[in-house]
Amino acid sequence: MITALLVMAGLALVLGATLGAASVLFKTQGDPLVDKIDAILPQTQCGQCGYPGCKPYATAIAGGDADINQCPPGGDEGVRKLADLLGREYKPLNAEHGVEKPKSVAVIDEATCIGCTLCIQACPVDAIVGAAKQMHTIVGDLCTGCELCVPPCPADCIDMVPVTETVESWKWRYPVFELKVQPATLPAKEAA
């Protein structure tokens, strides 16, 4: 009788543990990985990676359909972070998808804008405001610099202007002389 009880109790324990482990395992394999990758991506939503936005690219990476070096706005640091998260080998940015550029924001030449709304439809983050046949303007704080609004503009009035430093965004410089050989080894640590 007691042995039977023990066997049953033991069985219950083992099954419970397996279930628990399975739930933990399945959790790490589901959406959270996509979210973790998505958290590293810059959310510029420019599509240079070949996917219609950062989240689809994150899904593709998680599914093994895309490589980790296809996002130019994320740059070298982004690739390193992804390599680190996924335990993969770092590789330089794939030039096919574009090159890393300093962050810019779009500026509409308000005198030339004809109010056609084509840029509004192109902007993935609703950073352009305006109505039909009225001048449009870009809300600088919201613009991610994806450049998607530039080609559709028939009046060619959108310029990408690099973001300049302000007193608020200025950073103290690294205190020692930057050695040219060092950056190759240092950022690896930084990603850790």
Partner 1 sequence: MLNKLFSFNGGVKPDPNKSASTREPIARLALPPQLVIPLHQHIGGTPRPLVTVGSTVLGGQRIGAPDGNVSSAVHAPTSGRVVAIEPRPMPHASGLSSPAVVIEPDGLDTAIEREPFDWHAAAPGEIRDFLRDAGVVGLGGAVFPSHLKLNPGKSGHTDTLVINGAECEPFITCDDMLMRTEPENILRGALIMQRMLAAKQVLVALEDNKPEAATALKAAARALGNASLEVVVVPTRYPAGGAKQLIRVLTGIEVPHGSRSTDFGVQCFNVATALAVWRALEHGEALTRRIVTVAGNVERPRNFDVAIGTPISHLFAAAGLKPDTDKLIMGGPMMGIPLPNIDAPVVKATNCLLASSPTLFAPPEPELPCIRCGECARACPADLQPFELYWHSRARNFGRAQEYKLFDCIECGCCAYVCPSHIPLVDYYRYAKSEIWARERDKDAADSARERFEFRNWRADREKEEKAAKLAARNAAKPAVKPADGPAPAADVAPAAAEDPKKALIEAAMARARAQKEAVAAKNTDALTPAQKAQIDAAEERRKRASELSGSDAPTE
Using CB under 8 A as the binding rule, the residues of this chain from 45 to 104 that contact partner 1 are 45, 53-55
Segment lying near partner 1 (by CB under 8 A), choices 1-9, 15-23, 61-69, 124-132: 124-132
From the list ligand SF4, partner 1, none, which binds 148 (C-beta under 5 to 8 Å, kind-based)? Answer: ligand SF4
How far is 7 from 18, CA to CA, in rounded Å?
16
In the block, residue with structure tokens 């589901």: 30
Segment lying near partner 1 (by CB under 8 A), choices 18-26, 59-67, 80-88, 182-190: 182-190
CB of 189 to ligand SF4, least distance (A): 19
CB-facing half-sphere around the CA of 10: CA atoms within 13 A: 6
Q: Which of 148, 153, 142 lies closest to 108 in space, CA to CA?
A: 153
Options 11, 12, 15, 139; binder of partner 1; rule CB under 8 A = 139
Pairing of strands 137-138, 128-129: antiparallel
Options 71, 82, 113, 153; binder of ligand SF4; rule CB under 6 A = 71
3-state secondary structure 166-185: CCCCCCCCCCCCCCCCHHHC
Q: Which of 23, 49, 24 lies closest to 38 in space, CA to CA?
A: 49
If one asks whether residue 53 binds ligand SF4 (CB under 6 A), the answer comes out as yes
Options 31, 65, 110, 178; binder of partner 1; rule CB under 8 A = 110
Pairing of strands 104-108, 158-162: antiparallel
How far is 17 from 24, CA to CA, in rounded Å?
11
Q: Which of 79, 81, 55, 74 lies closest to 146 in space, CA to CA?
A: 74
From the list partner 1, ligand SF4, none, which binds 55 (C-beta under 5 to 8 Å, kind-based)? Answer: partner 1
Catalog residues that contact ligand SF4 under the rule CB under 6 A.
Answer: 41-42, 44-49, 51, 53-54, 57, 71-74, 106, 122-123, 125, 127-128, 138, 143-149
Catalog residues that contact partner 1 under the rule CB under 8 A.
Answer: 38, 41-45, 53-55, 110-111, 114-115, 117, 120, 124-133, 135-137, 139-142, 144, 165-167, 169-176, 186-187, 189-190, 192
